[in-house]
């Protein structure tokens, strides 16, 4: 929930920053270790900043207190925040934008466009990829019926073997070539 918005143009910053002060809604706090909803312990004492997506020519930072929760399993820990991953200095939206940009351009271009170091852009992209991989189900989960088709995709004799999940109607794998050996790759 947004509490306040202001422009910080102090001499300590190289450029003015749009600061958005946010706080978590009551009853929405979760333990950062086990992920379960927990009762708030206190509002926390530390103020934390996350880099967010730019707003036009303005650099945007989210600013919030780090609330803590009292978890019977984990003890008193910092609450999980929906806007950022634990230990990250960047908001999830910024990380998603950076990962997309590194997918369509190189890390150096992404870094200069987003005003972060190229290594930081690479680290963010790796972190987002790991998060997506962990949340994505395997295409083999619940697989009961498949369809296999060998078809040509160029004039001449260039073929591809496609394996499709028949119930979900989506491609599971595609391999160059035809025959038992190529289908054997899928079976492995």
Which residues of the chain form beta strands (DSSP E)?
2-8, 17-22, 30-31, 39-42, 47-55, 58-65, 68-71, 75-80, 146-154, 158-165, 170-176
Above 80 in pLDDT, residue 138? Answer: no
Structure tokens at 119: 């290594």
Q: Please report which confidence band the pLDDT of residue 1 belongs to, taking 50, 70 and 90 as the band edges.
A: confident
Per-residue pLDDT of 52-75, as tens digits, reads 998 888 899 999 888 888 889 888
Between CA 57 and CA 67 the distance in angstroms is 31
Percent of the chain with pLDDT over 90: 19
∠ CA 93-7-85, nearest 5°, is 25
- What pLDDT, on the 0 to 100 scale, is given for residue 69? 86
């Amino acid at each position: 929930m947004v509490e306040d918005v202001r422009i910080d143009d102090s001499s300590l910053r190289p450029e003015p920053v749009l600061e958005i002060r946010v706080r978590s809604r009551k009853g929405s706090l979760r333990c950062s270790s086990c992920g379960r909803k927990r009762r708030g312990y206190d509002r926390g004492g530390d103020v934390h900043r996350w880099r967010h997506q730019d707003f036009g020519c303005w650099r945007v930072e989210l600013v919030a207190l780090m609330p803590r929760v009292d978890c019977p399993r984990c003890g008193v820990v910092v609450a999980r925040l929906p806007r950022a991953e634990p230990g990250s200095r960047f908001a999830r939206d910024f990380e998603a934008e950076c990962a997309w940009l590194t997918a369509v351009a190189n890390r150096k271009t992404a870094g200069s466009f987003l005003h972060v170091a190229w290594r930081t852009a690479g680290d963010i992209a790796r972190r987002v990829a790991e998060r997506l991989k962990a949340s994505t189900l395997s295409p083999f989960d619940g697989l009961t019926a498949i369809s296999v088709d060998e078809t040509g995709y160029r004039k001449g004799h260039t073929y591809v073997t496609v394996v499709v999940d028949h119930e979900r109607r989506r491609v599971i794998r595609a391999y160059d070539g035809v025959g038992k050996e190529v289908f054997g790759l899928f079976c492995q």
